[in-house]
Structure 1
Amino acid sequence: MSADLPLAFLQPWALLLLPLSLLPLLPRRHDTLVYPHLGWLPRDRAGEALGWALRLLAVAALLAVVLALAQPVRPEAFVPRIGRGAEIVLLIDRSRSMDERMLPADWRTIDPLNLRYQAASRGERKGQAARDLLSRFVRERTDDRFSLMFFSTSPIRIVPFTQHSPVVQAGIAAGGIGRGLAETDVGRALAGAIAQFDQRAYTGSRIVLLVSDGGARLDAPTKRRLHEAALRNRVSVNWIYLRSVNSPRLDTPGEASEAVPEIALHRFFQTLPGTYRAYEAEDPESLARAVADVGRQQNFPREDVERVPRRDFGGAALAVAITCCALLLALRAVTMRAWR
């Protein structure tokens, strides 16, 4: 894609020196001397080839030096790209509860009286399991653009929207350093995640993928701001709810369940203008199924513009010049040794 971009020179005046690269091809003084008494000797084809090799290497060295002085670059450009995928904000809970363990894979066969102890000793940590699966999710979705945010008491923007998977992978891995804070502000974090789409051209499916094990009861002004932001940016919300041993289920019926933060948040998400999907993950297997389902759902046509950074070729030209000079010195050394 970047190969079609034009080449430019930061110092074009240096190109005026290009004729100097032809100097090694001009006749030299000893080439004009005639030795008629040597005409009976056979033609030295190896010597002629070596002479031309030395001249051509000198031409290449001078040409490369001039190009290096001209500083050739491929300018920065914006290239349209059409593919299938989405723009996804990974909004990952980094509170202290994410350091707790999930249920083990065989939790349904464990005595309920012993389940809490088994989970605390054998289960995989929620944060680590989520980071591992999200890392694989990002690696497999090469056509998506990802933005990464962590949150506890406030959202922390880690990576802006990018299609370079290694950057996002490094950000996800960094989320495992240290311990999280005790408090969680989901409303503030979600507002920050939706704001990532402000001032961005709409190119296709937009998703906020919330990964958290807790909920929140949002006040009326916060709900109104989130509703307006989701409508303005046409954002869908997917919530992967990491359910603990004694945590409630999101589909618990009844008005009394509104007092439970997780259920209250779930019901508010259902009122948002975009598509909303909730996934309850109790163990690593159900978490993997949830992440896989998100990948299947979000695979729509997307058109965007990719920024191709400037590329400098001056260093490559200088390396060619150095290589040619080294070969010249080596051939000269071989020639001098042969004459001796």
Structure 2
Amino acid sequence: MDGFEFATNEYVNDMTIVTLETAATETGTKDFIAVGTTIDRGEDLAVKGATYIFEIAEVVPDPAVSQRRWYRLRLRCRDDAKGPVTAVCGLNDYLVSSMGQKIFVRAFDSDERLVGVAFMDVGVYVTSLRTLKNLLLIGDAVKSISFVAFQEDPYKLVLLSKDTHRVCVTNAEFLFTESELRIVTGDEEGIVRVYEYNPQDPDSQDGRHLLLRTEFHGQREYRTSVVVAHRTKGDPPIPNSRLLTGSTNGSLASLTILDESAFKRLGLLQGQLIRNIQHTAALNPKAFRIVRNDYVLKPLTRGILDGNLLGEYEGLPINRQMEVTQQIGTDRVNVLRDWIEVRGAW
């Protein structure tokens, strides 16, 4: 067990494990811990920030004392910034960090300093950074999300697409299957939105605008997330993924991709449960999840199912379960199999 003591006026905004280039290993890369901080200097001076790179170093034990290995944090680099470093992530052996509305891509030079190779101005205040291969997803507190690509020859960040509406994004993440890629965001009101990047769609203006496909009111603010890959027995080259999110009230939620047949069955089941089970406090479960959006003709509610509502099906008597499934043209076994696959451990 080891740690690092920051100054009393310095606060950690983001921390993640990144893979950076180094000459200390045979592979030429190594995992480091990257930390972005805010340094509070009082009400008369603007805040500053810093980026820290820590190495997890193995300590050789003393045979006379203990044979057990242990590790400690070794500070390899500190890079001061003119503003708070609000988010950090790794991208193709480079470090990506944000300072206010700016995005910087840096290389770890000689294991002792960060050297900038590319930058971009986006939004107003960056809150989230996520990467997938050479793709970068940027969440902003005012201007929603931006979808960016990074190229190395020459070094450049290229804006592929963005959301044109003003949304306070607190967290953004990639969600993928073997054939599709989606972008999932959460905002300060607890609304989960699913976007698609599709240059072939006329509404995307040749890919310049991200397409909003689904909105779902989670009723809690999601601040962090992690994507878990799921490989089946066939072991496909690209697994399905599940998104795990953590909220400010301490709860956890998951978003799982379903195949089309299971989604249709569970969607029909959800409709029957809304009409046939007792509503909590006489509140309609469907209206509870609807998001007001003045830019669309009708609510975009068809893309996400309510797992809390579907879980009520397990608690029904068997004869009621059979009655509900008969009304949607399927049987109880198929519905339970779909539901167990969704809520089960991966």
TM range (shorter): under 0.3
Q: Return the index of the structure with the highest Cα Rg.
A: 1
Which structure would you say has the larger RCO, counting Cα contacts within 8 Å and 6 or more residues apart?
1
| Structure with higher helix content | 1
